[in-house]
Chain A
Amino acid sequence: AQKITQTQPGMFVQEKEAVTLDCTYDTSDPSYGLFWYKQPSSGEMIFLIYQGSYDQQNATEGRYSLNFQKARKSANLVISASQLGDSAMYFCAMREGNNAGNMLTFGGGTRLMVKP
């Protein structure tokens, strides 16, 4: 079974508007962390934001925030005031606490395209 699911293969958003990228996850481990990465067309992987399963508040980093709904096992990324430079692939990833290798499991990604 897929541990990380990103159901939106591609999305368009108008410049300066907000956009939500969906991520659902599956784990029975009560301790886990969720990560979002950005991959621009140049190919590098850029870490954006982290949410821990025991965090009481939704994570925020500048224009990025996480809409963390633990009971629904979702960790959606919200980008406010989209910019042309936000056009990229976005990957959600999970690390389970009982994971001796400190590994991440990645979703299939969402391609975001920002329209001027």
Chain B
Amino acid sequence: NAGVTQTPKFRILKIGQSMTLQCTQDMNHNYMYWYRQDPGMGLKLIYYSVGAGITDKGEVPNGYNVSRSTTEDFPLRLELAAPSQTSVYFCASSPRGLNQPQHFGDGTRLSIL
């Protein structure tokens, strides 16, 4: 069983380039999330979605966009990449419920040079 799948695993971008980080889940979870993790730090929420067609900003949304056209997919778009966006990006999903853990993908390591 795949769970949460993120692609690519690694990417190097030049300043000003754009790219889309892909995330798909096969658990039929309504809730999906994008986090970034800077070196030695915890996770910060970028965007989240409570269902297809519904997205909202998290703690650090600037420089990013998301869409949720299906329950399974939640891509994250970086426009005009900046060095400050060098980070590891995690996608996660969960069902509704106070006691439900979030299930994470393996992460995308992104470097902006």
Residues of A at the B interface (CB closer than 8 Å) are 31-33, 35, 43-45, 47, 50, 52, 91, 95, 97, 100-104, 106-109
Which B residues are in CB contact (< 8 Å) with A35?
101
Q: Quick check: B88 and A43 within 8 Å, CB to CB? A: yes
B97 nearest CB neighbor, chain A only: A102
Please report the C-alpha to C-alpha distance between residue A69 and residue B5 in the assembled complex, in whole angstroms: 36
Contact of B41 among A45, A47, A109 (CB under 8 A): A109
| Contacts A43-B107, A44-B107 given; does A104 touch B102 at CB 8 Å | yes
Which B residues are in CB contact (< 8 Å) with A100?
50
Q: Quick check: A45 and B90 within 8 Å, CB to CB? A: yes
Which B residues are in CB contact (< 8 Å) with A108?
41-42
13 further interface pairs, Cβ-Cβ under 8 Å (given A101-B48, A109-B41): A32-B98, A33-B99, A44-B106, A45-B90, A45-B104, A50-B99, A50-B101, A97-B98, A100-B50, A102-B96, A103-B58, A106-B42, A106-B44
- Distance to closest chain A CB from B53 (angstroms): 15
Contact of A109 among B42, B45, B58 (CB under 8 A): B42
A109 nearest CB neighbor, chain B only: B42
Q: Quick check: B101 and A102 within 8 Å, CB to CB? A: no
* Interface bits B68-112 vs A (CB < 8 Å: 1, else 0): 000000000000000000001010101011111111101101000
B29 nearest CB neighbor, chain A only: A102
Please report the C-alpha to C-alpha distance between residue A33 and residue B45 in the assembled complex, in whole angstroms: 18
Q: Quick check: A43 and B98 within 8 Å, CB to CB? A: no
| Contacts A102-B50, A102-B94 given; does A91 touch B43 at CB 8 Å | yes
B101 nearest CB neighbor, chain A only: A47
Which B residues are in CB contact (< 8 Å) with A31?
98
Q: Quick check: A102 and B31 within 8 Å, CB to CB? A: yes
Contact of B45 among A44, A45, A103, A107 (CB under 8 A): A103
Please report the C-alpha to C-alpha distance between residue A103 and residue B50 in the assembled complex, in whole angstroms: 10
